[in-house]
Structure 1
Amino acid sequence: MDNGFGKRLAHARAEKNLTQRELADAVGITWSQISRYEAGKAKPRLAVLLKLADALGTTSETLSGDAEDDNGREITLMLTDQETKEIERFAESESLNFNDAVQRIMAMGLKMRYDKNPDMRAQLEADMPGAYEKLLKLLAKDLNE
């Protein structure tokens, strides 16, 4: 098993001057599980990864090695010409660049989906308490800039 995650976790923990036990307590798991992660013997579930990132003041992408920096994950969208034109129109009307327009559209879409599906929203909150509120704050911040 690749131990890049374990090394990144140990490094981030050391930067925060936390013991394995302190990090484990902050996340709600055992210190031995932190030890297993750092030794490369196990990898966390997504919900635990997100809690680890939050406790360490970083992103899940940074810990997992899925990002080159802390600015998020790069994705490729398969858009039709019509969809691209619609996003470009939206970006222009909101004075945004294309990527920021896509991010806002995706955030609005997630909010709509969570608002229409209480079970999905409840699962989100069970996995990541406060995530829906963070989404609302992100949208409010974007709309007020």
Structure 2
Amino acid sequence: MDTQFGKRLAHARAARNLTQRELAEVVGITWSQISRYEAGKAKPRLAVLMKLAEVLGVDADQLSGDQAEEEGREITLNLTGREEARIEEFANANGLSFDEAVNQIIAAGLKTRLEGNLDMLAQLEEDVPGAYEKLVELLKKQ
């Protein structure tokens, strides 16, 4: 979620002609929390973000600023020298860039973890419907 989340939330709320109190009531949180979001002092949990997007009739990625499919999202990993070397070996053996190798390893690891923990998979699907399908599609592309 980027630093402009509060502005996008306020804009989307205004476009629906909702007060902070009205939006908060529908979403099931306090109006002061909406105020904190719009002021940039707090960011919502995923489940709240999804509910805000649903109520406001906007895409959650658009609202949060996370345009992962189009733009990607930068993350930072603290790797040991050994871990980095093993990823480089994997990348070279598979004709991938280092970043592509990291993406493939993370996606495959997440898929394996989700398949081994049905409760986690159910929670993911509840919070982000279709997320598992998107992950599987991502792995097919790689």
AA partner of residue 126 (structure 2): A
Normalising by structure 2, what TM-score? Answer: 0.65
Give the unaligned 5+ runs of structure 2: 19-24
Aligned to 1:134: 134
Give the unaligned 5+ runs of structure 1: 22-28
* Cα separation, 2, equivalents of 1:45 and 1:110: 20
AA partner of residue 90 (structure 2): F
Q: Does 1:73 align with 2:44?
A: no
AA partner of residue 120 (structure 1): M
Q: How many residues were matched structurally? A: 124
How far did 1:136 drift?
0.5
Residues 84 and 111 of structure 1: is their aligned pair in 2 closer, same or farther, counting only changes over 3 Å? same
Local SS of the residue matching 2:65: helix
Aligned to 1:83: 83
Identity of aligned residues (%): 44
Q: Does 1:56 align with 2:59?
A: yes
How far did 1:4 drift?
4.3
* Cα separation, 1, equivalents of 2:103 and 2:130: 20
Aligned to 2:26: 30
* Cα separation, 1, equivalents of 2:119 and 2:103: 24
* CA-based RMSD: 3.7
Cα deviations across residues 60-110 of structure 1 (Å, max 9, x unaligned)?
7526xxx9x9420321x2222222121111111222111111111001000
- Does the Cα contact within 8 Å between 1:107 and 1:135 map onto a contact in 2? yes
- Does the Cα contact within 8 Å between 2:91 and 2:97 map onto a contact in 1? yes
- Does the Cα contact within 8 Å between 1:50 and 1:60 map onto a contact in 2? no
Residues 81 and 19 of structure 1: is their aligned pair in 2 closer, same or farther, counting only changes over 3 Å? same
